[in-house]
Chain A
Amino acid sequence: MTALSEARLGDGDRRVRRVPHVRLGALGRLSERRGWAWLLLLPSLVMILAIILYPTGYGLWLGLHEMRLTRPDRDGFVGLKHFIAIADDPIFWLSLRNTLVWVVGSVVGELALGLAAALVLNKDLPGFKLAAALVLLPWFLPNVVAGNIWAMMLDPRLGVINDVLVRMGVLTTYRAWFAEPDLALAAAMAVEIWHGFPFFALLLLAALKAIPQDLYEAAACDGAKAWDQFVHVTLPQLRMIIVASVVLRVISLVNSPEILLILTGGGPGRSTQVLSLYAFLKAYKEFNFGYASALATVMFLLLMLFSWAYVRLSNVMRD
């Protein structure tokens, strides 16, 4: 123990301090104070207030006002005028119907495909990790590129999809996918499903990997076949994440008109016009800010209502 005795310093009562006591600087001392957390939060709170809450409040306020950049003379408070007009607006109802079809169709398709992809990719074989990364790529692609690639591939004259389908004998002649009102929304949904399914694949694959293997072993011991295991082990374990990811996805699908704006602009006719697109075009093309804000408010309320009902319902169904 000589080394330790060496380490000992200062014999007797007065020991010599080898390492001086630390003195903190002003900033260091400030960071030890109780209000430090709020100081750290301050910039974000200011930003959230200035660029999110204030504009949102302003947006709600705008819904009760007339505001057209093209007709500034008419500006002023109009109460619920816009909301009454919305109730009587056939385009609103059409857009609402399209939104429902678009969102339900896209989410169901994305979830189904995402779940399938997650189940397939949840294997411990060489190459599957790389595959899981590749499958994520569409989700990270910009809408502008995704939309235009598909517009190219679905082109009525030169599109590769027409060519493939004709070669396979599915189609006899090329089709103009975005020109037929009935087909346009379905085609746009197909694009959206391609673009969005990796989101579900990502989350579901992670959730699948987190399921303890002994659950399956226990089920297998009880004589459960693959399908039983899927229904009684896998699905219940995925339930929460499916519920949560569906809410998130619905919110972003309802709120973002980007891919439709790029693919169809709402046409042909108004066959692919959804609410967010309607509101955006009201603002962007007509500069009718009051009416557009009222539409956005209605969308927001519908989304809140949906999220609340959906979460309630999925809780009730569990019990």
Chain B
Amino acid sequence: MAGLQLRGVRKSFGSLEVIRGVDLDVEDRSFVVFVGPSGCGKSTLLRMIAGLEDISAGEIAIGERRVDDLAPAERGIAMVFQSYALYPHMSVRENMEFGLRMAGVGVSEREGFVTRAARTLRLDGLLERRPRALSGGQRQRVAIGRAIVRDPDVFLFDEPLSNLDAALRVQMRVELARLHHDLQRTMIYVTHDQVEAMTLADRIVVLDAGRIEQVGAPMDLYRSPANLFVAGFIGSPKMNFLDAVVETAPDGGARARLPGGTVVDVPVRPRGERATFGVRPEHLVHGAQTAGLPSLRGRAVVVERLGGATLVHLALDGDVTVTLQVAGDSEIRLDETVEVGIRPETTHLFGPEGNAWPRD
């Protein structure tokens, strides 16, 4: 009922185009995350949806309403800002009531909404405090509470967790996911953190340089990234990329020859002779499992022990490095020579222009 449609949306500052034509349909009640490196235009796009930035071309609709000519106030949205942007001169209660007052909601009703939202967010005892008397996490809750109380068609979040410390960030991430489940409202969430994107989103929109690179469910993006950019951006640690020379295999698949001569039959249709071969560190195998698989050999130049997992950076011949993720208790040591096996079904090939070659 209150989805969101963007059609040919563009934004330019003078001759500099920062949003270069975005088409997007957001389903009602879905949680959509805009993710991308800094400067990719994700925040600008969010602010355009909010109406805080004019659009240079295109259309935006919320529900069935065309909103791009409406003021932010009239769009029926609520927004949580990175800096929380609480009104410093108002108490928590007044902060949360502000939107209701603007919408002409009566005093007694306001009271009810605020009390309920405050209980939900465990802000009960803090309603008469000023924002500066709150901790970072509490301010964050007030900002979210202020948005909930408005009962908006669409929630907008602009990197809301990036000012919190790591532990609190994880906790708030969980709460946001629960909030979305309980409220059943459309939420659009901007972050540069792909972990937040993966964990929160129904659908992820990957942006780069003002363009949408790919839209899809988190695991779809992880399993079949549409291009090099998405492949490199989604997933941590980053996907390994190697140059490859490609020929057609007898079964019609792509036979990729990697530096060092290793040959992998990738189950995609070949589209040319040169490609970038991609495989995720967690998909490489090591030890006994390598038997019968195409393999790479390298010297361990860095070993990062994260506890649950260990990352091993291998230097192959010819100035190429590959990262391998193994179990936390792995006994690989620095300078050890390591053989890793490649399972062909987990690999990708990307053409010279960066696009993934499609699987059969």
Contact = CB atoms under 8 A, between A and B. Distances in A.
Q: Do chains A and B touch in the complex (CB under 8 A)?
A: yes
Interface of A: 1, 3-9, 13-15, 17-24, 28-29, 32, 34
Interface string B111-122: 001001101100
Interface string B145-162: 000111110000000000
Given A4-B179, A22-B74, A23-B74, 6 more contacts: A4-B178, A4-B182, A19-B103, A19-B149, A22-B102, A22-B103
B50 interface: no
Contact of A18 (B74, B151, B184): B151
B73 A24 contact: yes
Nearest to A29: B71
A261 B113 CA distance: 68
B73 A7 contact: no
Contacts of A18: 113, 151
A21 B182 contact: no
B142 interface: no
B37 interface: no
Contact of B183 (A4, A17, A19): A4
B119 A20 contact: no
Contacts of B117: 7
Nearest to A5: B182
Contacts of B71: 24, 28-29, 32
Interface in B101-141: 102-105, 113, 116-117, 119-120
A190 to B, nearest CB: 47
Contacts of A4: 120, 178-179, 182-183
B207 interface: no
B3 to A, nearest CB: 12
B132 to A, nearest CB: 22
Nearest to B116: A7
Nearest to A4: B182
A267 to B, nearest CB: 56
A7 B1 contact: no
Contact of B182 (A1, A17, A24, A34): A1
B76 interface: yes
Interface residue SS majority, chain B: helix
B183 A20 contact: no
Contacts of B234: none
25 contacts: A1-B182, A3-B116, A3-B120, A4-B179, A4-B183, A7-B120, A8-B184, A13-B1, A14-B1, A15-B1, A17-B151, A18-B151, A19-B99, A19-B151, A19-B152, A21-B74, A21-B76, A21-B103, A22-B74, A22-B102, A22-B103, A23-B74, A24-B73, A32-B71, A34-B54
B74 A8 contact: no
B99 A7 contact: no
B256 interface: no
B279 interface: no
B178 A19 contact: no
Contacts of B119: 3
Contacts of A29: 71
B100 interface: yes
Nearest to A13: B1
B120 A19 contact: no
Contact of B148 (A7, A15, A22, A23): A7
Given A3-B119, A17-B151, A22 B73 contact: yes
A7 B183 contact: yes
B183 A8 contact: yes
Q: Which of B120, B149, B150 has the most CB of A within 10 A?
A: B120
Contacts of B120: 3-4, 7
Contacts of B105: 19-20
Nearest to A19: B151
A7 B76 contact: no
B103 A20 contact: yes
Contacts of A9: 151
Contacts of B148: 7
* Listed residue (A6, A7, A8) with the most chain B CB atoms within 10 angstroms of its CB: A7
A177 to B, nearest CB: 54
B142 to A, nearest CB: 16
Nearest to A23: B74
A129 B152 CA distance: 49
Interface string B1-34: 1000000000000000000000000000000000
A19 B76 CA distance: 9
A19 B120 CA distance: 18
Contacts of B182: 1, 4-5, 7-8
What 3 A-B pairs have minimum CB-CB distances, sorted nearest first?
A: A4-B182, A32-B71, A19-B151
Contacts of B184: 8
A6 B116 CA distance: 8
Contacts of B73: 22, 24, 28
A214 B204 CA distance: 45
Contacts of A3: 116, 119-120
Interface string B67-103: 0000101101000000000000000000000011011
Most buried by A among B73, B116, B150: B73
Contact of A24 (B1, B74, B149): B74
Contacts of A28: 71, 73
Contacts of A13: 1
Contacts of B102: 22
A105 B166 CA distance: 60
A307 B147 CA distance: 53
Contacts of B76: 21
Contacts of B151: 9, 17-19
A9 to B, nearest CB: 7
Contacts of A24: 71, 73-74
Nearest to B183: A8
A13 B105 CA distance: 24
Contacts of A20: 103-105
Select the residue from A14, A17, A22 with max chain B CB neighbours within 10 A: A22
A13 to B, nearest CB: 6
A15 B54 CA distance: 30
Contact of A19 (B74, B150, B179): B150
